[in-house]
Amino acid sequence: MLILDTCALVFDALEPLRLSKKAVAAIAQADDAGTLACCDISLWEIAMLVAKRRLDPGTDAQKFIQLILAARNIKVLSITPEIASRSTQPDFCPHGDPADRIIAASTILHKAKLVTSDHKLTTVSGLHVVW
């Protein structure tokens, strides 16, 4: 399974040239295999970016998110008690952003790889980052 961080979802949809060559190749391979996923918190982050006008996808947030998910048949992963617990452990992740902590915990617990340009996440033990 390959999990797309919020930035990877947005870049893939609106600015694919911002993705690294490794990220593009990994996304294409996982897309072909039907193993692309994202965390439910990423949907909220995208909706917030649209609501705050930090992102203009040319449509409303709901439609944009639906288009992103349908374009590549991306599975949405829900937060579980185990993910919630792991993401709050003080020594788990140096990242202060709760969404990124949830995404990192989800990736590890699903034994997946994460496509992200967030360099802070590369320091999380056991997290395999593709970029």
Residues of the chain with pLDDT under 50: none
What percent of the chain stands above pLDDT 90? 93
Query: Could you read off the pLDDT of 102-123 as tens digits, one per residue?
Result: 999 999 999 999 999 999 999 9
What's the count of helices (H) and strands (E) in the chain, helices before strands? Answer: 6, 5
The residues near 120 (Cβ < 8 Å, ≥ 6 apart) are: 94, 95, 100
Give the pLDDT of residue 95. 67
pLDDT of residue 93: 82
Sorted by where each begins, the domain ranges of the chain are: 2-130
Q: Are 91 and 18 in contact (CB under 8 A)?
A: no
Q: What is the pLDDT of residue 40?
A: 98
DSSP string, 69-111: HHHHTPEEEPP-HHHHHHHT-TTT-S---HHHHHHHHHHHHTT
2-130 maps to CATH 3.40.30.10? no
